[in-house]
Structure 1
């Protein structure tokens, strides 16, 4: 019964391995393309940009005239009584008067103190700022994408390492059972091997569950069916030739947070100039083409029908000399907002400098840890190989063999963790320097 019991896990894990191998590979390039096309956060950011682009259009600038059309008609019924010059009195009941009118009016502002000029420039800056915000959203989403993608890759490697460890434990159990049958060891070695198989099986099941959960997290970023299964690319390539000084200079020139802050400072500057436009007058042109007609059936009326058409035009000047102080207060507050943005820009610049230095230190430290872990993995691999040979010869105990096996497994897991941590540290540094979207993944 023991052999039947352990055959089921063997079959289960063999089938799981076969199923995993059949999953289509989701390459890094494909993952990026799907994210750019489908991610909901990026789509929202792009819609916001479309609105800001519309606001920066000439149709929203105030430079174009306004044209309105008016039309109307009235009917008036009255009983009238009138006295003529000779003293004669005349009356008319139900006198009806019809009046009709139509007109086209044009209004155009020639000068408004340059307010619309600076408002238009502000809209243009906001449109460019919105484009930068889309870039920032894309960078943040791409970094999130690879954080989850590399976690899928890490769990994939962990699962494979745990499968290998389970296979070693199964071989050890078979060896212990044969040795027990021929009286070369006690039943304690068999029991220990069975316990270790159970432990390795549970660890493998947990790793597979974490892998499935993380795949769903990645599918959520890609905005596709959550149950979609795939295989991740476990190959990691690092960008060569990175230097701290270059990264620092790139961050000053290309960091998207700094660029957004600069655009906001420009917007506040234009808002301040626009607010000061109230000190100057507004000059406008008006023009009207109108038609009016009046019909009167009263016998007392001198004119029964009157029709008039014509064009009128004019120029007007409006100068707000004093509005109770509201404009002065608005200018003061706008100036304070500009000064505040200057302070925020300096703060962001300091934060970016700190972030790029911290990211560089984390990156170089992660590369060193990866190098150490790779050497440690090789050492533990050599140690396990020698221990395995000595175990077959009966020169080490099962406990010593198990310890060597666990040391190898822990070294494999640590090396995998170090590899992906180093890559993520590199991506974070590239994001801060504004180079994330310019490199091969």
Structure 2
């Protein structure tokens, strides 16, 4: 079955963990012993109901504070699809965790408490999701039971969010009124909101089309590892392992290896289950090439007539996640696909105000700031515009002193035809 990865986002206490617990509970995806443990913990914490949020708020500190701190991953399946859920934290302090959770998502659910409307963190998360290129958004207007299921309350938030997203690059938006605590419009349709005629959340998750989202650009195959088995049976075996990042690869296809520029053809495609006739995202496979070329980890295999840009000066939008601010001249490590190279942050063009989406002059970026920067790398990096390929267009920055990841970045304006997410700016 097809796999859908989705993330949750929104402010603290908007009900993200409860929503995921409800999805798992109503879709019969909770093991009996898990449910018994949650019931015991709910009673111990003094709840008069089964607190389904405990399914994802697994850390003791999260249970004590009643908030999500880390990104919690859960897996479940229905008759139509398999799902991976990334339950991201809502607190501003943990925005960087939310970025990590959403970076590989096909879809994101932005929860809004109907009583509070859009908050700064709701806007921040929606903006980050658009920057991260998440192709499908769901605005879940939650806790409708606390607003007596009034349609006018739902409409106000829907219209406010629609106005905000006109400034963003949002490809697909669905808006669903619900109550995660009572299960209204999560898996089963609500009898309390006859005025809503759209799908339930689970129905939308099962039917949203995602196959075409992963092939916006032709073949991309970053080499992760060179396989040379030391055995008599495979003494002449040389394979290049990695995950397909774009397009479809088949035996006999002509390809070029970057940055060397050497041409060859694909001799075969191997997998743990044997040879394959084709490979496509997000499959992990091993390519064997017709010629013995000098190919190493960090190289990229692509079509001769459809190549990424080979850059050392990189314009990018970054979300700074470091505790200490960053300034021009800072030395960093840039991790792009399977290649890690030294880099220098040359300049900061501007910082983006997440509420107004206006640009502001800046000489530094602090924790959770989003800005446009220019980086200079010590070695060439094979990049696409992020909007065309999230794998070859995305990177992380690492502090070489501490080895901590301090930023996530999205490559812009490589000349490969990408468009800016900051629409109208």
TM-score (norm 1): 0.20
Higher helix share: 1
**Larger Rg belongs to:** 1
